[in-house]
Amino acid sequence: MNLTNSINNFNEAKQVIVGGVNSPVRAFGAVSGTPRFIKRGEGAYIYDEDDNKYIDFVQSWGPLIFGHCHKDIESHILRALKNGTSFGAPTELETALAKEIIAVYENIDKVRLVNSGTEATMSAIRLARGFSGKDDIIKFEGCYHGHSDSLLVSAGSGCATFGSPSSLGVPHDLSRHTLVARYNDIDSVRSCFEESANKGSGVGCVIIEPIAGNMGLVPADKEFLYSLRKLCNEFGAVLIFDEVMSGFRASLKGALGFYDVLPDMVTFGKVIGAGLPLAAFGGRDEIMNLLSPLGGVYQAGTLSGNPLAVSAGLCALLTLKQNPKIYSHLEFLAKRLLEGFKAASQQANIPIQTNVCGSMFGFFFCSHEVRNFEDAKRADNLLFAKFHEKMLAKGVYLACSQFETGFICTPMTEKDIDSAINAANESLCEIAQGI
Ligand SMILES: Cc1ncc(COP(=O)(O)O)c(C=O)c1O
């Protein structure tokens, strides 16, 4: 595969953009080879600057449930563009989008639109703290909620549940308000609540990806989410479901399509912007009405509710609502893909674990079940790196880390899935033979 242009583009970018990329995961740090510089996308495919074609299972990390250059979304964006790119004043479109989100999520009375998932979770946490009057928060190891200071925290050493900064520049004073629990382990959550209560501050909110997609794909156990809801009620903490990835992706109702547990607040991103910068957070009136200008919790944004992004998102949500069968079809394709990966692994005598949640899929090269981040870290990353490189060379674009989720989009066909399975067969066979 000729990669001359991508290699040259990357070298040039490194001169002027830190690490050559505007978001670290794009740098291919966890795998080998060079990041592909993408020239264009069309439906299920992307084309790099050397005109190599790939089936795209990344889909911009989730937003593109309709694939690249979907005609209706394009025309909605173009129509909005003709009226102006931004006004910094309210538009009817924003109300229409808010209504669509609220109509699907029964526990949400109001939303606020923002520009990124990071903003959505950061603002939701501030609001939850303002509502509960308590400073501590609980997050889960392996869940990612964007890059705000309170959330760039990982588990402390030993038995400590209070976290330590996972990035330079995050003050220890702040990270000590973030407690880190183990995913799918309710006892670890109770310990966090109790430790916080003992230290006096108390837990204002718990934030969780109910379908975790940032340690690979690891769905929460039903019983665990149910118990988490009960613990939040017991300790008076706001429960936030971070559905930036899973919202309108795993099912029309996101996690609510799989679990009978209602959070107090939900954060959205990705699909609701259909590839443009848009995210949101929402909740019950009693919480949301504390937000500025009605209440004392401040949050704002020059480009929030941008008309191009809102038009794209509105088109996506309306199309999804009008065609609910999309989800079962995408899940059928995801299951077919993962069954194929499983069979290929068995053939090559390489252990694999797979998960599918609607149009989201994940796999780990390991023989043990993966229920939390510790389990995920014990999967074979070296093997994944080899697999990733071989799949790329065969025209299959997978996320460049085992701790990411893959996505199916509507233009994908069974033929696309089968050619990805063939590529997996060949790749794993080569790996087994030491090639
Ligand atoms: C669950 C979740 N929350 C929040 C974010 C942050 O969103 P953004 O990258 O738009 O800031 C992400 C990003 O991948 C995510 O997966």
Atom from ligand 1 closest to the CA of residue 121? 4
Q: How far is the CA of 213 from the centre of ligand 1 (A)?
A: 10
C-beta of 48 in contact with ligand 1 (< 6 A): no
Q: What separation in Å is there between the alpha carbon of 427 and the centre of ligand 1?
A: 30
| Model confidence pLDDT, tens digit, residues 286-309 | 999 999 999 999 999 999 999 999
Pocket test residue of 64, 139, 144, 149 for ligand 1, highest count of atoms within 8 A of CB: 144
Comparing C-alpha atoms, which of 272, 251, 394, 252 is closest to residue 334?
A: 251
What is the residue with the minimal CA distance to atom 4 of ligand 1? 145
Q: Mean pLDDT, to the nearest integer, of 398-418?
A: 97
Does any ligand 1 atom lie closer than 6 A to the CB of residue 178? no
206: β partners: 138, 239
Q: Is 266 in the pocket of ligand 1 (CB under 6 A)?
A: no
Span 17-41, mean pLDDT? 95
Q: Are strands 203-208 and 136-140 parallel, antiparallel or unpaired?
A: parallel
Give me the active site residues, please: 144, 242, 270
Q: Identify the pLDDT of residue 376.
A: 97
Question: Would you state the structure tokens that stand for residue 165, as one six-digit string?
Answer: 């900064």
For ligand 1, is residue 273 a contact (CB within 6 Å)?
Answer: no
- How far away, in angstroms, is 1 Cα from ligand 1 center? 32
Which residue of 243, 245, 249, 304 sits with most ligand 1 atoms within 8 Å of its CB, as the best mutation to test the pocket? 245
At 158 the pLDDT is 52
Q: Looking at residue 106, what is its pLDDT?
A: 86
Q: Name the one residue in this structure whose structure tokens are 């109300």.
A: 95
432 pLDDT above the threshold of 80: yes
The sign of the CA dihedral 424, 429, 432, 434 is negative
What separation in Å is there between the alpha carbon of 349 and the centre of ligand 1? Answer: 35
| pLDDT at residue 160 greater than cutoff 90 | no
225-259 pLDDT, tens digit per residue, is: 999 999 999 999 999 999 999 999 999 999 999 99
| Alpha-carbon span 279 to 77, nearest angstrom | 17
Tell me how far apart the 2 most distant CA atoms of the chain are, in Å: 65
Residue 60, pLDDT above cutoff 60: yes
Residue 183 CA, ligand 1 centroid: distance in Å: 18
405 lines ligand 1 (CB under 6 A): no
The predicted model gives 259-270 an average pLDDT of 98
Q: To test ligand 1's pocket by mutation, which of 121, 373, 405, 407 has the most ligand atoms within 8 angstroms of CB?
A: 121
Query: What digits encode the pLDDT tens for the residues 205-214?
Result: 999 999 999 9
What is the per-residue pLDDT for 157?
59
Q: pLDDT tens-digit profile of 96-105?
A: 999 999 999 9
The residues with which 178 forms a beta bridge, in sequence order, are 137
Ligand 1 centroid–CA 120 distance in Å is 9
Cβ(212) to ligand 1 under 6 A?
A: no
Backbone dihedral angles phi then psi of residue 233, each to the nearest 5 degrees:
-65, -45
List CB contacts of 220: < 8 A, sequence separation 6 or more: 183, 184, 208, 210, 211, 212, 259
Q: Above 70 in pLDDT, residue 358?
A: yes
Amino acid present at 432: A
Atom 3 in ligand 1: which residue has the minimum CA distance?
145
pTM greater than 0.85 (yes/no): yes
Picking from 124, 320, 95, the residue whose alpha carbon sits closest to that of residue 205 is 124
Does any ligand 1 atom lie closer than 6 A to the CB of residue 142? no
Distance 392 CA to ligand 1 centre (A): 25
Give the up-direction half-sphere exposure of residue 322: CA atoms within 13 A in the CB hemisphere: 6
How many beta carbons lie within 10 A of that of residue 38, not counting itself? 17
Q: Does residue 123 line the site of ligand 1, with CB under 6 A?
A: no
Whether ligand 1 lies within 6 angstroms of the CB of 345 is answered as no
Peptide linkage before 210 cis (omega within 30 of 0): no
pLDDT in the model for residue 200: 81
Q: Is 30 exposed, middle or buried (0-12, 13-18, 19+ CB in 10 A)?
A: middle
Evaluate: CB of 358 within 6 angstroms of ligand 1: no
Average pLDDT, the chain: 96
3 state SS for the chain: CCCHHHHHHHHHHHHHCHHHCCCHHHHCCCCCCCCCCEEEEEECEEEECCCCEEEECCHHHCCCCCCECCHHHHHHHHHHHHHCCCCCCCCHHHHHHHHHHHHHCCCCCEEEEECCHHHHHHHHHHHHHHHHCCCEEEEECCCCCCCCHHHCEECCCCCCCECEECCCCCCHHHHCCEEEECCCCHHHHHHHHHHHHHHCCCEEEEEECCEECCCCCEECCHHHHHHHHHHHHHHCCEEEEEECCCCCCCCCCHHHHCCCCCCCEEEECHHHHCCCCCEEEEECHHHHCCECCCCCECCCCCCCCCHHHHHHHHHHHHHHHHCCHHHHHHHHHHHHHHHHHHHHHHHHCCCCEEEEECCEEEEECCCCCCCCHHHHHCCCHHHHHHHHHHHHHCCEECCCCCCCCEECCCCCCHHHHHHHHHHHHHHHHHHHCCC
Q: What angle (nearest 5°) sits at the alpha carbon of residue 418, between those of residues 417 and 424?
A: 95
**pLDDT tens, residue by residue, 327-343:** 999 999 999 999 999 99
The answer to whether the CB of 244 is under 6 A from ligand 1 is yes
- Predicted confidence at residue 128, as pLDDT, reads 98
More confident residue, 164 or 354: 354
Helices 325-348 and 414-432, axial angle in degrees (round to 10): 20
Question: In a mutational test of the pocket of ligand 1, which residue from 58, 122, 214 has the highest number of ligand atoms less than 8 Å from its CB?
Answer: 214
CA of 207 to the centre of ligand 1 (A): 13
pLDDT band of residue 162 (cuts 50, 70, 90) is confident
Q: Could you tell me the pLDDT band of residue 163, with boundaries at 50, 70 and 90? A: confident
Expressed in angstroms and rounded, the spacing between residue 410 Cα and the centre of ligand 1 is 22
**Residues comprising the chain, all counted:** 435
Q: What is the pLDDT of residue 324?
A: 92
Q: Are 31 and 383 in contact (CB under 8 A)?
A: no
Give yes or no for residue 210 CB within 6 A of ligand 1. Answer: no
